[in-house]
Amino acid sequence: MSVLVYAAAVVLLIGVYLTWTANRLDRLHTRRDGAWAALDAQLVRRASVSLDLAASRLLDPAASILLDDAAHTAREASAESRDLAETNLTRVLRDVFEDPKESLALKERPGGGALLTELDSSCRRVQLARHFYNDAVRVTWVLRRQRLVRLFRLAGHAPFPQTFEMDDEEPVGLRGMAAG
């Protein structure tokens, strides 16, 4: 009789642990989905500000065309090529704003200060949002790799989360524009 009681207690404890783990995994997936929505919003914002800047006639025509093309490509990229399109936009932004002196001169022109401040802010927000998203993915990975999670298929049919890797280094010429 006591063996059955102990066995039932062990089964109950394992059931409680599996339920707790499944709920935690669900919360982590929800957190990751929220972090992706935030990252997506920041990427769209950065592309939108880039398009506004390209259309503002503040930049020289060649820089405007490059920035416009990269921003449009980033906004319209498929999920499979989004990281490459966003990396390309970052590189174009770095090329356009590589000289802090030119950026300061642009900031002094009518409308330039507001656009550069918003672009600097959006570039930094992309970095933060990507960091939070990738952290959420890594935490989810740790739990999904546990033996019991895999054995009991606690993640169900949810796809294994992937980090979002891109070049998000802020252009030198924009650094500190939002602060000053």
Residues 5-37: tens digit of each pLDDT: 999 999 999 999 999 999 999 999 999 999 999
In the predicted structure, residue 180 carries a pLDDT above the cut 70: no
For residue 82, name the pLDDT band (cuts at 50, 70, 90).
very high
Q: How confident is the model at residue 69 (pLDDT cuts 50, 70, 90)?
A: very high
Mean pLDDT value of segment 137-154: 95
Residue owning tokens 């704003």:
97
Predicted confidence at residue 175, as pLDDT, reads 84
Sign of CA dihedral 98, 107, 118, 71: negative
* pTM (predicted TM-score): 0.92
Closest CA to 115 of 179, 43, 177: 177
Q: Which residue has the tokens 């993640």?
A: 155
Name the nearest CA neighbour of 66 among 98, 89, 48: 89
In this structure, the number of other CB atoms found within 10 A of the CB of residue 122 comes to 21
Asked if residue 133 lies in contact with residue 36, where contact means CB atoms within 8 angstroms, the answer is yes
Tally of residues, the chain: 180
- Averaged pLDDT, 32-46: 98
